[in-house]
Amino acid sequence: MVQLEGSKVLVTGASGFIGSHLVEALVHHGCKVRILVTYDTGPNIGCIKFLSDELKEKIEIVVGDIKNADDVCLASNGVKFIFHLAALVGIPYSYLHPRSVVETNIVGTLNVLMAGRENRVERILHTSTSEVYGTAKYVPIDENHPLQGQSPYSASKIGADKIVESFYCSFDLPVTTVRPFNQYGPRQSARAVIPAIITQCLTRDVVHLGALHPTRDFTYVEDTADAFLKIAMSEKAIGEVINIGTQKEISISDLTKKIMILIGKNIKVVAEEERVRAEKSEVYRLLCDNSKAKKLIGWEPTTSLDEGLEKTIQWISSKLDIYEPDKYAI
């Protein structure tokens, strides 16, 4: 087992939803955590602001741009592990700004790999997405499922995944591609479907969504952070692609009904044309085969969907002022 406790680690994309939970888990595990964030009027720490002051004091913040090779190289100097989560993840956004998505997701990943190689980093965990599989050709979806670029976002992540694979094959760089299926939990933006449903259920008489019949495999974010730690500590995971999911699926329609029951409301649901993906771009079914994660790193989710939704509803209810349920977030 690779020693993670006490190690200096870099997290890119730490200001995001999953990244902030991973940072929290790494600090609790005893890691010396450095995060790379962008600069706005100051360091843009995003979801890190929701962490306790005590925990934030233990985090080293470095400002830079994932698309700038020098910034990434400097940020990764002296670290043992890189957890690479920085990406532009909005699928609707990728329809509008494909060049920006490609430059961030592919070039940014290349910069991480080159910096890791130059600085002799011992492990790099690259974050992929189940969107690279597209609509399932068979279920459950294992790591050998064909990759399908059904949106500019998924195509950019396929490109990033293949760049990672090439550095493992060409340079023996110690990488692992972590492929989470749909994630949810506290701190997630309303761009994702579960916060979009919850915020509208809490504040409106009508819930506006996209297509209701696609199915997704939802994993609670703390379970996902635990998977990252287990992968980082496993030598068997080097060079591998590992799915992270529950191996359970639910339609968006049934998910909405479940959230309504948990909140205690029964309101109208409208499928809004603006939110529906183009037919050939819609991913109709995602169901994870997580047997490799169970076998290779001894991971499986411990949070049920009902339990995770209750925690998420409670958190969003206490932070409604940061959401704008009347707007369609892309």
251-264: pLDDT as tens digits: 999 999 999 999 99
Distances in Å between the Cα of 58 and the Cα atoms of 30, 43, 54 are 10, 16, 7
Determine the Cα angle at 165 with ends 90 and 35, to 5°.
55
Evaluate if residue 130 carries a pLDDT over 90.
yes
pLDDT given for residue 16 in this prediction: 97
Query: Which domain covers residue 228, as residue numbers?
Result: 8-188+219-245+286-302
Average pLDDT over residues 7-35: 98
Quick check: is 16 in a domain?
Answer: yes
Burial grade of 106 (CB within 10 A; 0-12, 13-18, 19 or more): buried
What are 96-116's pLDDT values in tens digits? 999 999 999 999 999 999 999
Average of pLDDT values for 134-141?
A: 96
Whole-number percent of the chain with pLDDT over 70: 100
Residue 26 per-residue DSSP state: H
Confidence of residue 275 (pLDDT cuts 50, 70, 90): confident
Under 8 Å between Cβ of 286 and 217: yes
User: What integer pLDDT is reported at residue 145 of this predicted model?
Assistant: 98
User: Quick one: pLDDT at residue 134?
Assistant: 96
Which pLDDT does position 298 carry in this prediction?
Answer: 98
Gyration radius of the chain's alpha carbons: 19
Tell me if 91 is assigned to some domain: yes
Asked if residue 201 is part of any domain, the answer here is no
Looking at the domain assignment, is residue 142 inside a domain?
Answer: yes
Confidence of residue 328 (pLDDT cuts 50, 70, 90): confident
Secondary structure of residue 116 in the 3-state scheme? helix
Q: What is the pLDDT of residue 67?
A: 98
Q: How many domains does the chain have?
A: 1
- The encoded tokens of residue 289 equal 């085969």
Look up tokens 């965990």; give the residue. Answer: 125
**Beta carbons within 8 Å of 173's beta carbon, 6+ residues apart:** 113, 116, 117, 124, 167
In a domain, residue 107? The reply is yes
Mean pLDDT computed over every residue of the chain: 96
pLDDT band for position 186 (50/70/90)? very high
Q: What is the CATH number of the domain that holds 75?
A: 3.40.50.720
What are φ and ψ of residue 244, in 5° steps?
-125, 110
Task: Tell whether 66 is covered by a domain.
Answer: yes
pLDDT-based confidence at 2, cuts 50/70/90? confident
Q: What is the pLDDT of residue 321?
A: 92
**pLDDT computed for residue 260 by the predictor:** 96
Q: Is the pLDDT of residue 329 over 90?
A: no
Evaluate whether residue 329 is within a structural domain: no
The answer to whether residue 73 is domain-embedded is yes
Residue 174 sits at φ, ψ, to 5 deg, of: -75, 80
- What is the band of 326 on the pLDDT scale with cuts at 50, 70, 90? confident
